[in-house]
Structure 1
Amino acid sequence: MIRLDNVKVSFKDKVAVDLGRVIEIADGERVGIIGSNGAGKTTLLKSIIGLVPHKGNIALGVPSNEISVHMQYNSYVDTVSIRNIIEMVMGCRITDNQKLQEMIEFFEFEGCLDKRWKQLSGGQKQRLTLILVMCKDSKIVMFDEVTSGLDFETRQRLMDKLVTWYEEKHTTLLITSHYYTELDNLATKILYLKDGRAVDYGSKEELFRKYCGNAVVIFEDTEKGREIAKAHKQIKAAEGFIALSCDNDDEEVEIAEKLIRNHINYRRSNNDIEMMTINAER
């Protein structure tokens, strides 16, 4: 269990985090902490592990030094091989640690072991830190912008690896990201931060229904599309698109039939994190 009771972090006159409420995270839950750059995501993680002072109370189910953390920026010495770095950090030889061998194989990292830090690509550097963090098998693991600076394909591969690794585990995960689609298959709950404050917290499905309805139909903003939208409940959407909220299946079918008759392509969602976020700001 993690309990964040009105946590507030300030740097001189600037308030970086002010949750303004109690956030409880049960054992085994996977919480996506979302928000734009500067929303306070990284600062909140640092307050949990004691790297920055805070007001309010933080209660953890394990000592903070037993939490595994992947921070956004990591750097290692460049005078020795990656193999040496792994063995120094882990305190054992790779050949003597079965879990470490499994992780290296899982992340397809064998070809990087004899390289130096500066020779690794951005994705390979992220994989090195993930190997070191995930090998500890901690009860609580935190990932801070784990795919920052990576191209779309590399980001997707890394997130797929995380989903697979934790699929059968009872690990409590806290994952910060401003790429909302990355959390679709990993997070079960969402903590949405804006300017350091908790806009809302709950399951993806619960928050989606609260702000978007039972389902949403999204299509390109055109003259025909705007005519169709007039007869239905329109909610906020990304620029260039129209989003219609559906309270039941009949309404969804009615909208879909109109769009099909007018040859308008559309997509339907009932758990889109980005749509939920856009409409939570109303």
Structure 2
Amino acid sequence: MSKSKHKTPPPAAHTLGLPPAGVDSHAHLDLDALRPDLDEILTRAREAGVSHIGQVFLGPQAWAQNRHLFDAYPQVFFILGLHPGDADACDENAVTAMKQAFATDPRLKAVGEIGLDYYWDDHPRELQQKTFVMQLRMAVQIDKPVVIHSRDADEDTVRLLEAEGFAGRPLLWHCFGADAALAERIVRNGWHVSVPGPVTYPANNALREALSVIPADRLMLETDCPYLTPVPWRGRRNEPALAAFTGACVARCLGIDPAELWTRCGNNARAFFGIQ
């Protein structure tokens, strides 16, 4: 008998049997890779135990164009900011537009993802830093939490945050992928950490080791979908349901029950973003 050419598909997220208490703190459901299948994606998320999803709009235009996609999905809350890759679009007009959005849309819960990206370095670092600070000050003015994007720029990111008085303010370090040293600095400043799918990748030992220094009440889970898909779905499109596999990996690393970890991280996210 010849062997089948078809591989057994990875297990579905709902087979992990997690309670309906999880939160995907960071998703890009308005992107073309996900938008056509939105209803099916959100159904799978619910079946996997995801109670809420943080939809990140990359600028006021994206919010204006796509917010109504989610009118039928109360489990989706919003995050709005200008990514460092769009630093050249962040001027006073953009800040004014974002302030107006926050004033009129109660689904908007945080400013983000904002920060610095020296990996792609699409814009001069001085410009990235200037627009980062502009949005930090906006967040203070409108009294909203901040979601940070930092890639190959952690020293400058922390320096600017501390200079702007953000120690002790509500802040989530999105897509954390560093080591225990950075995790300790984040924790000392009273900030939260969101863990993405790459924690499941075999080579990411430093990231898994960093989990041990993050207090239980500072930890969240995210997909950053459609990117950064966790094992065993790595190589395919990511979606909120797959946060369950990230959570299961984190639970193993910390030696706690997956359902407990899932619920704890979900509670942290609901408290941070002010959602019920």
Please classify the TM superposition score into its range, dividing by the shorter chain length: 0.3 to 0.5
Structure (1/2) with the larger helix percentage: 2
Name the larger-Rg structure.
1
TM-score by length of 2: 0.35
TM-score by length of 1: 0.35
